[in-house]
């Protein structure tokens, strides 16, 4: 078995290869980038086989003889018909099945979670009105949502009250973008910090 320290060295060297892009594009960076993509694909294939394909299809179908599993097996095989022009139309069968299933499942779920529940969350409900700590933000949210939606209402010329509300909507949008940008900065710095922690702690051992 290869000792763990070797993998720390491999990780550290590959990290430095990737960091070398800060100076400019170079073969070391490209090597590490291609290696990452290759390893990810190989890893995905191995996990899919061991965690799904073998226990959930090969074992029940070929070892236990459960013929029900022939249906998903054949549907899966039909995906490969794309490589044979004469029968490539067969791919429509599994694609149709997957698209039909996905749409049927997704539409009501997304509608419920992302539209109905979100609208409910914007309303000033009696429960919210009882909470002095939440009521201010409840009102701000309601005004913000209405103003932003008005900004995106293009079916009529915006003038008078709608123009004012649309301008208010822009302010809310800008605050939202600012928050997203601030969080993005934090995320990117965090990624750098994570790698530096690995280099200084796990590899070089200069911090504890």
> CA of 173: how far to CAs of 123, 134, 163, 178, 180, in Å?
20, 21, 15, 8, 10
Using CB under 8 A as the binding rule, whether residue 180 contacts another protein is answered as yes
Using CB under 8 A as the binding rule, whether residue 6 contacts another protein is answered as no
Q: How many chain residues touch another protein (CB under 8 A)? A: 46
Positive or negative: CA dihedral 142, 145, 149, 150: positive
Of 70-99, which residues contact another protein (CB under 8 A)? none
Using CB under 8 A as the binding rule, whether residue 20 contacts another protein is answered as no
| Cβ neighbours of residue 69 closer than 8 Å, sequence gap 6 or more | 57, 60, 61
Using CB under 8 A as the binding rule, whether residue 186 contacts another protein is answered as yes
Of 102-161, which residues contact another protein (CB under 8 A)? 102, 105-106, 109-110, 112-114, 117-118, 120-122, 141
Tokens of 39: 């390893």
Could you tell me where the beta strands, DSSP code E, fall in the chain? none
Enumerate binding residues for another protein (CB under 8 A). 22-23, 40, 43-44, 47-48, 51-52, 55-56, 101-102, 105-106, 109-110, 112-114, 117-118, 120-122, 141, 176, 179-180, 183-187, 189-197, 200, 206-207
């Amino acid at each position: 078995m290869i000792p763990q320290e070797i993998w720390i060295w491999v990780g550290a060297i590959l990290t430095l290869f990737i960091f070398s892009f800060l100076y400019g594009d170079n073969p070391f960076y490209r090597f590490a980038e291609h290696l990452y993509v290759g390893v990810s694909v190989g890893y995905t294939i191995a996990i899919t086989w061991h965690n799904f394909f073998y226990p959930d299809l090969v074992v029940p179908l070929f070892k236990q003889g459960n013929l029900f599993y022939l249906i998903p097996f054949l549907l899966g095989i039909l995906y490969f018909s794309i490589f044979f022009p004469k029968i490539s139309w067969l791919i429509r069968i599994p694609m149709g099945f997957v698209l039909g299933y996905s749409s049927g499942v997704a539409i009501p779920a997304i509608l419920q979670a992302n539209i109905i529940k979100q609208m409910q969350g914007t309303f000033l409900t009696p429960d919210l009105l009882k909470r002095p700590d939440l009521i201010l933000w409840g009102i701000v949210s309601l005004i913000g949502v209405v103003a932003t939606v008005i900004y995106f209402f293009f079916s009529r010329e915006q003038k008078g009250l709608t123009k004012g509300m649309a301008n208010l909507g822009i302010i809310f949008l800008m605050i939202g973008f600012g928050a997203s940008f601030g969080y993005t900065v934090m995320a990117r710095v965090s990624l750098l910090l994570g790698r530096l922690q690995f280099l200084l702690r796990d590899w070089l051992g200069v911090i504890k």
